[in-house]
Amino acid sequence: MTTGNYTGINLASQPFRRERAENAAYALICGVLTCSLIVLISLIAHARTRAADLRRVIDAENRELAQLQRKGQQFSAVLSRPDNADVFARSVFLNELIARRAVSWTRVFEDLAKVMPSNMRLMGIRLPQVAADKSSELNRIELEMTVGTDHYEAITELLKNLQQSPLFGAAQVMSQNPPTQNDPLYKFRLNVDYAQKL
């Protein structure tokens, strides 16, 4: 018996598609993306608020800096007047003199004796510059020294001792002279920062 022109539908060749599960997965992904978008928007808003606050602080600091610079220029203008030049130079000289007088040479030599190797001696010392550090109650001093030794390796030991000492900074060797017939010592001239308690 013929069935006419009907085409048969084979359900096995077109299985049931699980659209409900796919839709649920898509909805979940959309929810996660929406939550991520909300979090990103809130982070951007928070960053913008912080940037605006920071800009306000920077503007206030810039205004204060400009005001201080204007006052500094006014003071500089007063100090640079010809009738005030002598007073300013005299005050600078007196301040340097007071700072130099505050340095204890006895303490300088005691502190140097602690770092000087036994086979080295101090040939000369000069105090070129003193700067008082009011925050730490220290005199910052730049010492210019000439030392002599009959062993060249002693200078390495001295430099290491100076660097490890809390009172001295890293020393810089300015010049060195080898031994001569009249003077059998190696001589070194060096600069080193020194901090002495007031």
pLDDT of residue 148: 92
Question: How far, in Å, CA of 116 to CA of 120, rounded?
Answer: 7
pLDDT of residue 36: 92
Would the pLDDT of 132 be above 90? Answer: no
Q: What is the mean pLDDT of residues 147-157?
A: 90
pLDDT of residue 105: 79
Which runs of consecutive H residues, i.e. helices, occur in 5-104? 19-79, 82-101
Nearest CA-CA partner of 123 in 153, 144, 154, 101: 144
pLDDT of residue 104: 75
pLDDT digits 0-9 by tens, 16-70: 556 777 888 888 999 999 999 999 999 999 999 999 999 999 999 999 999 999 9
Would the pLDDT of 87 be above 60? Answer: yes
pLDDT of residue 101: 65
Higher pLDDT, 151 or 18: 151
Cα 179 versus chain centre, distance? 42
pLDDT of residue 34: 93
The confidence band for 102, taking pLDDT boundaries of 50, 70 and 90, is low
The confidence band for 12, taking pLDDT boundaries of 50, 70 and 90, is low
pLDDT of residue 50: 92
Q: What percent of the chain has pLDDT over 70?
A: 77
Nearest CA-CA partner of 124 in 111, 112, 133: 112
Give the residue extent of every domain in the chain: 19-80, 104-197
Would the pLDDT of 1 be above 60? Answer: no
CATH number of 104-197: 3.30.70.2830
Nearest CA-CA partner of 175 in 143, 150, 147, 140: 147
Q: What is the mean pLDDT of residues 145-149?
A: 91
Q: Average the pLDDT over each of 62-71, 75-84, 93-102, 171-180 and give the range with the smallest value.
A: 93-102
Would the pLDDT of 147 be above 80? Answer: yes
Q: How buried is 194 (Cβ within 10 angstroms: 0-12 exposed, 13-18 middle, 19+ buried)?
A: buried
